[in-house]
């Protein structure tokens, strides 16, 4: 028998449990920078082979104005050899990094931005058709995250909503080169009632707060089968609000920005026997 639990593979039956949170550090801008996102891009196109990014929002919880890159986990831990860069401007903490590009909601628009991290220049700016924006249908307890970018084993996605579907979660698969929408799925889950979401192997997982110390992964939408599901996996948290979650398919870690702290969780998957 062979268990298919290799990193980057989808030969598993989904998440069955999650580790305790591992607190890496406070974000470099300090405790008042409660909002933001962070993660790891371990793409083949990163010249350094490993890239950690940290993108706190301004204390208004809206404006993404600066971010830092580190070429190793040790550098991140020691706050060493950072490249610190400015952009004009992103909105909300739905940012993701994939293959050496940063994807974010361009400030006060329904546009998606694709920033080249080698040059800090905008490579593509494209409208996400009919997307609600500017805090219309953000997440519960988290403002300005109308657009939440996600990366899974198959590439780049965006989680958002429109006026037409009255704030329910929509999931679009994007062409990462052009930001064209390749396919869209409509769920029945109201976006402002979930606190965050991420995608693994084409399955959207959504969270909601249970109390100030616990969050629950409670809802799934499988884009492969177009089926919704209910699950209950409890995530312990250090502070009250999970501002963002970024899944990395190559190490299968959730990178969580928890009220200014950079936190990691390991995921435990259901093995599938072949
Ligand atoms: C889930 O993981 C936690 C550690 O985070 C552990 O304490 C618990 O026993 C696990 N639950 C199951 C059902 O394996
Ligand atoms: C994405 O767009 C590029 C450039 O137009 C194209 O070459 C590529 O085939 C597209 N990929 C998919 C999956 O549609």
Atom 4 of ligand 1: nearest residue by CA position: 19
Residue 192 DSSP class: G
Is the confidence at residue 4, as pLDDT, over 90?
no
Which of 17, 237, 266 for a ligand 1 pocket mutation test, highest count of atoms within 8 Å of Cβ? 17
What's the pLDDT tens digit per position in 179-215? 999 999 999 999 999 999 999 999 999 999 999 999 9
Which residues lie closer than 8 Å to 59 by C-beta, 6 or more apart? 32, 33, 34, 35
Q: Check if 32 has its Cβ closer than 6 Å to any atom of ligand 2.
A: no
Is the confidence at residue 2, as pLDDT, over 80?
no
Is the confidence at residue 176, as pLDDT, over 60?
yes
Distance (Å, rounded) from C-alpha 209 to C-alpha 193?
10
Q: How far is the CA of 177 from the centre of ligand 2 (A)?
A: 7
The half-sphere exposure of 216 on its side-chain side, counting CA atoms within 13 A, is 10
Task: Provide φ and ψ at 77, rounded to 5°.
Answer: -60, -40
Quick count: other Cβ atoms within 10 Å of Cβ 17? Answer: 12
Residue 182 CA, closest ligand 2 atom number: 14
Task: Provide φ and ψ at 235, rounded to 5°.
Answer: -105, 120
Task: Give residues (CB < 6 A) around ligand 1.
Answer: 17, 19-20
H or E element, residue 27: none
Average pLDDT, the chain: 94
Which residues lie closer than 8 Å to 270 by C-beta, 6 or more apart? 12, 13, 14, 15, 16
Task: Provide φ and ψ at 179, rounded to 5°.
Answer: 65, 15
* N- to C-terminal Cα separation, the chain: 7
Query: Please, which pLDDT band fits residue 117 given cuts at 50, 70 and 90?
Result: very high
Give the residue-averaged pLDDT of 15-27: 97
Residues β-bridged to residue 111? 127
Quick count: other Cβ atoms within 10 Å of Cβ 51? Answer: 23
% pLDDT > 70, the chain: 94
Atom 13 of ligand 2: nearest residue by CA position: 175
Distance (Å, rounded) from C-alpha 256 to C-alpha 244?
6
Give the residue-averaged pLDDT of 56-60: 97
pTM: 0.95
Quick count: other Cβ atoms within 10 Å of Cβ 216? Answer: 17
Q: How far is the CA of 43 from the centre of ligand 2 (A)?
A: 18
């Amino acid at each position: 028998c062979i268990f298919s639990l290799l990193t980057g593979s989808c030969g598993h039956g989904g998440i069955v449990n999650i580790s305790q949170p591992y607190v890496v550090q406070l974000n470099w801008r300090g405790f008042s920078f409660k909002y933001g996102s962070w993660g790891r891009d371990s793409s083949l196109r990163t010249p350094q082979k490993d890239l950690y990014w940290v993108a706190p929002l301004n204390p208004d919880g809206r404006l993404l104005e600066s971010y830092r890159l580190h070429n190793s986990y040790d550098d991140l831990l020691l706050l060493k050899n950072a490249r610190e860069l400015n952009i004009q401007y992103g909105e909300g903490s739905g940012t993701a990094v994939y293959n050496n590009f940063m994807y974010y909601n361009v400030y006060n628009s329904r546009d998606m931005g694709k920033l080249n991290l080698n040059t800090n220049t905008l490579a593509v700016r494209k409208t996400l058709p009919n997307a609600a924006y500017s805090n219309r249908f953000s997440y519960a307890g988290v403002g300005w995250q109308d657009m939440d970018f996600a990366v899974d084993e198959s590439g780049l996605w965006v989680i958002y909503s429109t006026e037409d579907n009255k704030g329910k979660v929509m999931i679009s698969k994007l062409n990462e080169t052009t930001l064209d929408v390749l396919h869209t799925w409509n769920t029945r889950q109201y976006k402002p009632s979930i606190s965050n979401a991420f995608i693994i192997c084409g399955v959207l997982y959504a969270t909601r707060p249970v109390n100030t110390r616990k969050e629950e992964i409670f809802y799934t939408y499988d884009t492969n089968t177009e089926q919704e599901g209910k699950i209950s996996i409890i995530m312990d948290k250090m502070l009250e609000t999970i501002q963002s979650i970024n899944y990395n398919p190559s190490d299968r870690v959730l990178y969580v920005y928890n009220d200014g702290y950079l936190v990691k969780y390991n995921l435990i998957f259901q093995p599938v026997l072949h």
